[in-house]
């Protein structure tokens, strides 16, 4: 019901923005987020609330998971004096209907990370939001980083809008949200349990792992049908494997039974998936470097080069040697 109301409010806001005050829109979004976090059994906790400005400010935070923004809306939207909150976010999020509606109601600043021109326009829009009294949150790393021990490099220019608008800057550290079941699959959870319990993958106790997995899934149950189906599918697989290891089927009592072979397949699958995850940060780093490179379209040579046949060659330059060098270059090109 809350989602339908948000969608309806967003449609009305697009047509008649003057009819919906900022306070009402902010309150509706906070209500939706509070209900969503309660359903997902997520209870964010804040520390050092006394440092949060009571007016407009640029909130610079790291980014661990998809619940980071929800947690900030929940925490910053509580208390005696509530300041309007908005976000700087990538344009890809506007492709999802509900997310787009929420971002529109918050008057979020949309950023196309591949367009330098839009980046400049977004910086001006952030400064304007700050002047309008918003607290603007920017995830300065530019992408999610679920490694609990690493904070990524902050993007250059993330703080400039606050300087332009003469507003406070509030650094925020988000921790542990990467453990929430969001945008992760069953294999991620299994690897998390293996790492947390300091288990040896090559000598894995599947029965113990199955019990811990079931406990984790039931404690952090998701309402997303597609997502929870994946976790329950893995849970069913682990339960079956555990039962076959405890009571092997007839005919498998001697030697290595099918359950042991299946356990080895699971271990191999986890090792392979772990190796894939290990190289992903390298690809992110390459993508970040590539995003900082801007190409200029090729133009005709005669537009950039002015030939002056009457101009003398510099002293010491032998035209014969120049001709010989150019001929060698052409010969190589033909090869």
For residues 81-108, give the mean pLDDT.
88
| Residue 296 is assigned to a structural domain of this protein | no
Give the pLDDT band (50/70/90) at residue 330.
confident
Q: Are residues 130 and 264 in the same domain?
A: no
How many CB atoms within 10 Å of residue 235? 18
Q: Are residues 131 and 259 in the same domain?
A: no
Q: Are residues 198 and 155 in the same domain?
A: no
Q: Are residues 190 and 282 in the same domain?
A: yes
How many CB atoms within 10 Å of residue 69? 24
Is pLDDT at 298 greater than 90 in this prediction? no
Burial tier of 64 (Cβ tally within 10 Å: 0-12, 13-18, 19+): buried
Which tokens in the block code for residue 32?
């939706």
Give the pLDDT band (50/70/90) at residue 90.
confident
Domain boundary among 147, 178, 209: 178
Q: Are residues 108 and 82 in the same domain?
A: yes
Mean pLDDT of all residues belonging to the chain: 77
| Residue 309 is assigned to a structural domain of this protein | no
How many CB atoms within 10 Å of residue 94? 15
Q: Are residues 18 and 86 in the same domain?
A: yes
With pLDDT > 70 as the criterion, what percentage of the chain qualifies?
73
pLDDT digits (tens, 9 = 90+) for 3-27: 788 989 999 999 999 999 999 999 9
Q: So what's the pLDDT on residue 175?
A: 82
Structural contact between residues 190 and 213, judged by C-beta atoms closer than 8 angstroms: yes
pLDDT digits (tens, 9 = 90+) for 261-286: 777 787 787 777 777 777 777 776 77
Q: So what's the pLDDT on residue 92?
A: 83
The torsion defined by the Cα of 177, 181, 184 and 187, in degrees rounded to 10, comes to 120
Structural contact between residues 178 and 100, judged by C-beta atoms closer than 8 angstroms: no
Domain boundary among 144, 178, 212: 178
Structural contact between residues 77 and 31, judged by C-beta atoms closer than 8 angstroms: no
Q: Max alpha carbon distance in the chain (Å)?
A: 98
Q: So what's the pLDDT on residue 135?
A: 94
Q: Is the dihedral of CA 244, 247, 248, 250 positive or negative?
A: negative
pLDDT digits (tens, 9 = 90+) for 158-197: 788 888 889 999 999 888 777 664 445 677 777 777 776 6
Domain boundary among 257, 276, 291: 291
Q: Are residues 152 and 223 in the same domain?
A: no
Is pLDDT at 255 greater than 60 in this prediction? no
Is pLDDT at 223 greater than 50 in this prediction? no
Q: Are residues 114 and 48 in the same domain?
A: yes
Q: pTM of the full predicted structure?
A: 0.55
Q: Are residues 141 and 96 in the same domain?
A: yes
The torsion defined by the Cα of 261, 266, 272 and 275, in degrees rounded to 10, comes to -130
Query: How many domains does the chain contain in total?
Result: 2
Tell me which residue has tokens 């392979």. 272
Structural contact between residues 151 and 145, judged by C-beta atoms closer than 8 angstroms: yes
299-314 in b/e burial notation, b at 16+ Cβ within 10 A? eeeeeeeeeeeeeeee
| Residue 298 is assigned to a structural domain of this protein | no
Which tokens in the block code for residue 11?
């449609």
Closest CA to 50 of 81, 86, 72, 85: 81
Structural contact between residues 46 and 17, judged by C-beta atoms closer than 8 angstroms: no
| Residue 50 is assigned to a structural domain of this protein | yes
Q: Which residues contact 157 (CB under 8 A, 6 or more apart)?
A: 119, 123
Under DSSP, is residue 52 helix (H, G, I), strand (E, B) or coil?
coil
| Residue 302 is assigned to a structural domain of this protein | no
| Residue 135 is assigned to a structural domain of this protein | yes
Q: Are residues 206 and 170 in the same domain?
A: no
* Helix 225-246, helix 206-219: angle, nearest 10: 150
| Residue 268 is assigned to a structural domain of this protein | yes
| Residue 330 is assigned to a structural domain of this protein | no
Tell me which residue has tokens 């109301």. 5
Q: Which residues pair with 88 in a beta bridge?
A: 109, 138
Which tokens in the block code for residue 111?
């950023």
Q: So what's the pLDDT on residue 183?
A: 44
Q: Are residues 170 and 191 in the same domain?
A: no
Query: Which of 7-11, 37-41, 88-92, 200-204 comes out lowest in average pLDDT?
Result: 200-204
Q: Are residues 168 and 217 in the same domain?
A: no
| Domain extent at residue 271 | 186-291
């Amino acid at each position: 019901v809350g989602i339908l109301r948000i969608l309806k409010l967003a449609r009305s806001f697009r047509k008649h923005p003057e009819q919906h005050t900022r306070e009402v829109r902010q309150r509706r979004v906070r209500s939706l987020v509070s209900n969503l976090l309660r359903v997902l059994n997520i209870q964010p906790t804040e520390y050092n609330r006394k440092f949060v400005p009571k007016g407009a400010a640029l909130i610079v935070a790291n980014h661990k998971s998809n619940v980071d923004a929800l947690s900030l809306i929940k925490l910053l939207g509580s208390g005696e004096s509530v300041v309007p909150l908005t976000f700087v976010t990538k344009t890809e999020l506007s492709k999802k209907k509900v997310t787009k509606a929420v971002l529109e109601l918050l008057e979020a600043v949309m950023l196309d990370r591949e367009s330098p021109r839009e980046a400049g326009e977004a910086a001006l829009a952030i400064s304007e939001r700050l002047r309008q009294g918003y607290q603007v949150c920017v995830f300065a790393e530019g992408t999610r980083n679920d490694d609990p021990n690493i904070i990524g490099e902050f993007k250059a220019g993330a703080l400039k809008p606050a300087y332009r608008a003469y507003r406070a800057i509030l650094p925020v550290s988000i921790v542990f949200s990467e453990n929430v079941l969001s945008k992760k699959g069953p294999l991620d959870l299994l690897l998390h349990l293996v790492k947390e319990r300091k288990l040896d993958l090559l000598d894995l106790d599947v029965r113990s792992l199955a019990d811990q997995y079931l406990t984790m899934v039931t404690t952090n149950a998701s309402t997303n049908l597609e997502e929870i189906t994946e976790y329950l599918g893995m849970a069913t697989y682990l339960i079956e494997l555990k039962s076959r290891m405890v009571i092997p089927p007839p005919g498998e009592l001697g030697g290595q039974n099918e359950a042991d072979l299946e356990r080895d397949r699971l271990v191999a699958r986890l090792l392979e998936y772990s190796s894939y995850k290990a190289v992903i940060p390298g690809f992110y780093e390459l993508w970040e470097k590539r995003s900082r490179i801007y190409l200029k379209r090729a133009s005709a040579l005669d537009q950039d080069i002015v030939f002056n046949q009457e101009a003398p060659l510099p002293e010491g330059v032998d035209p014969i040697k120049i001709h010989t060098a150019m001929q060698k270059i052409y010969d190589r090109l033909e090869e």
